[in-house]
Amino acid sequence: MQASILEVRGLSKRFGGLTAVSELAFEVREGEILGMIGPNGAGKSTTFNLIAGTYPASSGEIVFKEASILGLAPHQIARRGILRTFQHNRPFEGMPVIDNVLVGAHRLFTKNSHAEEAVRRSRAEELIEFVGLGGLAAADVGTLSFGQGRLLEIARALAGEPRLILFDEPAAGLAPAELDRLAEIIRGIAARGIAVLLIEHDMHFLLPLAHRVVVLNFGAKIADGLPDEIRRDPAVMDAYLGSHAAHS
């Protein structure tokens, strides 16, 4: 078994009277794709925001590469090697695609040399190619389609050479053909040795892709295990009852 890169223990988040995440515990192992599913409002994005430092946790522990990252600011967490995409595209609108990707590499810049800039730039171009935006490096981000914007989010996060990447519903709003391509990209990322924590709504997309799955409902973990186990888990089917996933 691979060593774990991220460990979450007893993590809770309350917004006023609402407990969005409650006593959550899970781990992400080196090089794996850990899926996280759950119905609307289950607390998936909140969990991400706690890991990324956007929200302070009410209680609990988050350990990344054997060091606690609880209480660190988002930029400090990013600098340690956790990069994320957003559920809703957040491009830097005043910049072309390539510069958006280069911002993702911000944490890697050590000096202010032309040589370094050139290296990063060619790496960024490779990544743009890798996610399937080839030929659009110089394009204005305003001209991208929604789906291309999703891919840009991924390229930008990859540019920082993360050890752990957090994807918040990357498949949301994509056409079926784009979904296959996305699954391929995510597998490719894991194959590079980057651990992936993948939030998804849609079990059809997630289950074939994830190595292990954590299921949330009302902020709490109701199941975790291999995709096949999750498929057969009655508690999971209950939580999804009436939704499309129940038919699988």
Ligand X SMILES: Nc1ncnc2c1ncn2[C@@H]1O[C@H](COP(=O)(O)OP(=O)(O)OP(=O)(O)O)[C@@H](O)[C@H]1O
Question: With CB cut-offs between 5 and 8 Å by kind, which of other proteins, ligand X, Mg ion, none does residue 146 bind?
Answer: none
Q: Interaction with Mg ion in 24-53: which residues (CB under 5 A)? A: 45
Contact between 216 and 37 under an 8 Å Cβ cutoff? The reply is: yes
Give min distance, CB of 81 to other proteins, in A: 9
Element (H, E) at 164: strand 164-168
When binding is defined by CB under 6 A, the residue of 84, 120, 163, 201 that contacts ligand X is 201
Give min distance, CB of 247 to Mg ion, in A: 23
Give min distance, CB of 164 to ligand X, in A: 18
Question: With CB cut-offs between 5 and 8 Å by kind, which of ligand X, Mg ion, other proteins, none does residue 95 bind?
Answer: other proteins
* Per CB under 6 A, 20 contacts ligand X: yes
* Per CB under 5 A, 148 contacts Mg ion: no
Question: With CB cut-offs between 5 and 8 Å by kind, which of other proteins, ligand X, Mg ion, none does residue 74 bind?
Answer: other proteins
Cβ proximity to ligand X, 38 vs 162, nearer residue: 38
SS3 31: coil
SS3 26: strand
Give the C-alpha separation, 98 to 129, whole Å. 11
Place of tokens 């040795």: 193
SS3 168: strand
Cβ proximity to ligand X, 201 vs 212, nearer residue: 201
Place of tokens 């194959």: 191
Quick one: CA dihedral 124, 36, 218, 74, positive or negative? negative
Contact between 19 and 198 under an 8 Å Cβ cutoff? The reply is: no
Give min distance, CB of 8 to ligand X, in A: 14
For Cα atoms 72, 73, 78, give the angle at the middle one, nearest 5 degrees: 95
- E-strand ranges in 49-176 read 59-64, 67-68, 82-84, 164-168
Residues of this chain that bind ligand X (CB under 6 A): 15, 18, 20, 38, 40-46, 87, 201
Residues of this chain that bind other proteins (CB under 8 A): 52, 54, 73-75, 78-79, 83-84, 86, 90-95, 99, 102-104, 106-107, 109, 112, 117, 156-157, 160
